[in-house]
Amino acid sequence: MSLPSGQELRITEATLRTVVKDIFRSAGSNERECDLVADHLVEANLKGHDSHGVGMIPAYIASLKAKELTLNHAPRVVNDIGGALVLDGGLGLGQTIAFDAMVMGIERAKKTGSAIVALSNSHHIGRIGHWAEQCAREGLVSIHFVNVIADPVVAPFGGKVPKLVTNPIAIGIPRREAEPVIVDFATSKLAHGKIRVAYNKGVPVPDGTLIDAAGRPTNDPAAMFEAPTGAILPFGEHKGWTLAFACEALAGALTGGHAMKGPVTQKAIINNMLSIIVSPDALGTQATYLSELESFVHWAQLPVEGQSPTVLLPGDPERATKAERLAHGIPVDRNTWLQITAAGASVGVSEAVLAAYAG
Ligand code: NAD
């Protein structure tokens, strides 16, 4: 691989999709799964969340090789009580499992007005906003609580050692004749993958993000990747911790999955997700919902003298990044590219083919 040290590649969306599909096809995914995983990972990169983009491929391939990830798997219905579906992901590829779970939830919400989807035991389901967007495309409001079963990396508020992971929450809010508002964040100060990206790039993380193994504040991302390791702090002090706790309760426990209870032995990143999907149309509040929402957006964004730039809505930064990256390509740092190339080679994709994609 001839990429000079420190260089960042710019790869087009189409090429990156081809890379993802080549690797997963070679690993054993069918064409539908190749499309779903490429859609998801490349969209995360386009939206600026490189932590959940193609840089996850090496972790997914490691899970596959450890026999902790099943390709071409569908969620199993454990219980169907009409208003709620309980599903077991069976460690299937999260991009397929969560997509299929949302298809089932969307169908149910359209029929009955609302649906709860309690999904447990899926392999990593990536950028949670992706699932809120899937619901919003159908005109449905959705709320998603997720917990993560993996090596603990986040310390509770007031704690000094990691006890949980970065438990994300997403909310999808469709609008009238405008792109949906997508609220989507980790309950930790930074997503773990963003610390990995900083580590790969050799740059510090912002103040207040990490503590080292002795519980002292640090800006060095190596604190999460080189022993003895420290912890990420929750965002918003006690408030982030309370939401992270809610994710353990709702996604980990209520779905019938698992909450964190100690160090893990598996390589795989496992997600459980509780989704609440609501049809404003079926509630009979559609007209009010849409007009009140637009009134609030108008009011929140009214120009104020001396205030610049304009107030953004959740989802706006991702849309702006996507427009820029569609025009100029997706940046992939050297270390991430080398890791992807190695993962591809390990499932039989020629390194020469991958190097050619990198130009
Ligand atoms: P983040 O801190 O970048 O926050 C993103 C949210 O804030 C988005 O809704 C965005 O639109 C909004 N936002 C950002 N700037 C804004 C502004 N100026 N005005 C208005 N809104 C603004 O996100 P994060 O915490 O780093 O999470 C990144 C991704 O990681 C998410 O997609 C999340 O789902 C994902 N994640 C997944 C897992 C998992 O286990 N699958 C775990 C953790 C995080």
Interval 175-193: pLDDT, tens: 999 999 999 999 999 988 8
Query: What mean pLDDT comes out for the span 191-218?
Result: 92
Question: Hunting for tokens 């990830």 — which residue is that?
Answer: 69
Of 74, 208, 183, the residue nearest 131 (C-alpha): 183
pLDDT at res. 6: 56
Q: Which atom of ligand 1 is nearest to the CA of 47?
A: 32
* Closest Cα to atom 3 of ligand 1: 185
Alpha carbon 324 to chain centroid, angstroms: 21
The reply to whether ligand 1 has any atom less than 6 angstroms from the CB of 234 is no
The reply to whether ligand 1 has any atom less than 6 angstroms from the CB of 127 is yes
* Closest Cα to atom 24 of ligand 1: 185
Of 51, 64, 53, the residue nearest 24 (C-alpha): 64
The reply to whether ligand 1 has any atom less than 6 angstroms from the CB of 45 is no
Query: Of 72-81, 179-188, 196-205, which range is least confident?
Result: 196-205
Give me the amino acid identity at 144. H
Query: What mean pLDDT comes out for the span 161-170?
Result: 97
Per residue in 306-345, pLDDT (tens digit) is 877 789 999 999 999 999 999 999 999 988 999 999 999 9
Average pLDDT of the chain, as a whole number: 95
Compute the distance between CA of residue 167 and CA of residue 247 in angstroms, rounded to an integer. 6
pLDDT at res. 172: 98
Question: Hunting for tokens 């420290």 — which residue is that?
Answer: 230
Please say if the pLDDT value at position 1 is more than 60.
Answer: no
- End-to-end alpha-carbon separation of the chain, Å? 11
The reply to whether ligand 1 has any atom less than 6 angstroms from the CB of 191 is yes
The reply to whether ligand 1 has any atom less than 6 angstroms from the CB of 51 is yes
Domains, the chain: 1-65+329-359 (1.10.1530.10), 71-188+234-314 (3.30.1370.60)
Angle between helices 94-112 and 129-136 (to 10 degrees): 40
Ligand 1 centroid vs 28 CA: distance in angstroms? 31
Of 11, 47, 117, the residue nearest 314 (C-alpha): 47
Sign of the CA dihedral 291, 296, 299, 301?
A: negative
Angle between helices 334-346 and 192-201 (to 10 degrees): 110
Ligand 1 centroid vs 302 CA: distance in angstroms? 25
pTM given for the model? 0.96
Please say if the pLDDT value at position 359 is more than 70.
Answer: yes
The reply to whether ligand 1 has any atom less than 6 angstroms from the CB of 166 is yes
Ligand 1 centroid vs 213 CA: distance in angstroms? 26
Q: Which atom of ligand 1 is nearest to the CA of 48?
A: 3
The reply to whether ligand 1 has any atom less than 6 angstroms from the CB of 209 is no
The reply to whether ligand 1 has any atom less than 6 angstroms from the CB of 312 is yes
Cβ contacts of 261 within 8 Å, gap of 6 or more: none
Tell me the three-class secondary structure of the chain, residue by residue.
CCCCCCCEEEECHHHHHHHHHHHHHHHCCCHHHHHHHHHHHHHHHHCCCHHHCHHHHHHHHHHHHCCCCECCCCCEEEEECCCEEEEECCCECHHHHHHHHHHHHHHHHHHHCEEEEEEEEEECCCCCHHHHHHHHCCCCEEEEEEEEECCCCECCCCCCCCCECCCEEEEEECCCCCCCEEEEEECECCCHHHHHHHHHHCCCCCCCCEECCCCCEECCHHHHCCCCCCEECECCCHHHHHHHHHHHHHHHHHCCCCCCCCCCCCCCCEEEEEEEEECHHHHCCHHHHHHHHHHHHHHHCCCCCCCCCCCCCCCHHHHHHHHHHHHHCEEEEHHHHHHHHHHHHHCCCCHHHHHHHCC
Query: What mean pLDDT comes out for the span 149-157?
Result: 97
pLDDT band at 3 (very low <50, low <70, confident <90, very high): very low
Per residue in 221-249, pLDDT (tens digit) is 999 999 999 999 999 999 999 999 999 99
pLDDT at res. 232: 98
Ligand 1 centroid vs 288 CA: distance in angstroms? 28
The reply to whether ligand 1 has any atom less than 6 angstroms from the CB of 148 is yes
Cβ contacts of 80 within 8 Å, gap of 6 or more: 86
The reply to whether ligand 1 has any atom less than 6 angstroms from the CB of 34 is no
The reply to whether ligand 1 has any atom less than 6 angstroms from the CB of 271 is yes
pLDDT at res. 241: 98
The residue to mutate among 99, 127, 164, 185, having the most atoms of ligand 1 within 8 angstroms of its beta carbon, is 185
Neighbours of 342 (CB within 10 A): 15
**Cβ contact 239:101 at 8 Å:** no
Ligand 1 centroid vs 141 CA: distance in angstroms? 18
Tokens of 5: 């040290």
Query: What mean pLDDT comes out for the span 123-135?
Result: 98
* Closest Cα to atom 2 of ligand 1: 185
Please say if the pLDDT value at position 2 is more than 50.
Answer: no
* Closest Cα to atom 22 of ligand 1: 314
Q: Which atom of ligand 1 is nearest to the CA of 235?
A: 25
Torsion of CA 23, 29, 32, 37, to 10 degrees: -50
Please say if the pLDDT value at position 136 is more than 50.
Answer: yes
pLDDT at res. 4: 46
Ligand 1 centroid vs 245 CA: distance in angstroms? 18
pLDDT band at 351 (very low <50, low <70, confident <90, very high): confident
Query: Of 35-39, 258-262, 350-354, which range is least confident?
Result: 350-354
The reply to whether ligand 1 has any atom less than 6 angstroms from the CB of 124 is yes
Cβ contacts of 101 within 8 Å, gap of 6 or more: 75, 85, 87, 89, 117, 119, 122, 273, 275
